[in-house]
Structure 1
């Protein structure tokens, strides 16, 4: 009896118009070759959530430094997300004359004011071939991606530059298993006993022979008697 195919993989395959087994093998071989089955299913969930096509490189994945994968959305994927959003009502992109900054404005049908994001070359430029060859184009892409994210709240996905940083910084936060105490013992077996904390009784201060023995000139008033409070009265 064959194992059931995960529903998220079936949904992805149906959107792509391919057989689920073929979709699995293709993604495993070309998009996430080092991913575990669980990581591959997580990738399919994200692709289905945003209706992106991994075979068109609208979404792909980077392997994390310490395991796991990071879903990456290319510029075509971001443009698809923005243009197909039901609230999208237009976009303006303006590059500064010196190419040092780029501003993107996205308009929503349900918002009177546009979402405006400006990205700066000095903050975004990477030491990669695309940034060296086409700095203005890459800066324009960055402004569109970030403005789309803010305008529509796209989460859990990254552009390529962010993805590399996230993948390189991922770490395993699962605590390592440590050996427990020997059988029959608890962490409190070697704790001090209550007697070790018990203080020796202190010697009472001597009664003064007369007023002023302790502090010259200090008058000690005579003790007064106070009525004992009855708790039933409160």
Structure 2
């Protein structure tokens, strides 16, 4: 199941003390703006020093900028100052699931791999917290009223071990998804233009799902998603072993 959110078609620039949603798109990407449902924005929201127009988008501010590395969608809630965990043990951290308001979530293209996206979840809180083994991801059409047939990626089998994937304060967990591992140009799923990401599918409400545009030309076929890892290289390795439907 997934929760759907309002999508914004105009470019919006802003920086929030408690909520920020950012997008950087390349000329070749052509992606739109990711969206998120959230609570009301703090009154201390200030305009970012960036070109373009600014307006409120309900409960979230949205930014758009151009980068050379590819698209970047991000949401940061209650970022605050990311300090090292104050002596909290791993065993204690396993009992504390990460909260969306203490995370930042980014999705970028992986350099040299046009069909792959890197999901980056950074702990911007003060303490270590636990995530599910992998983010919940689905792929669908942003304009469709029926999302029952959205595509879900394969994930690695044989999950087990620690009760959660721990993310220390100031650290980032990475997961990689390959939208089209075979590189097929025919037989791909038609009209897929959006990726939906929930950082922790075990503990977070569906309202924390973020919608990331892929563009109308995205080719999706038997996508694979890896587990959270502490490096992109390890996340890629995990993705290649995906063999079970999520």
TM-score by length of 2: 0.21
More helix by share: 1
For CA contacts below 8 A with separation 6 or more, give which structure has more relative contact order.
Answer: 2
Compute the TM-score of the two structures, normalised by the length of structure 1. Answer: 0.22
Structure with larger Rg: 1
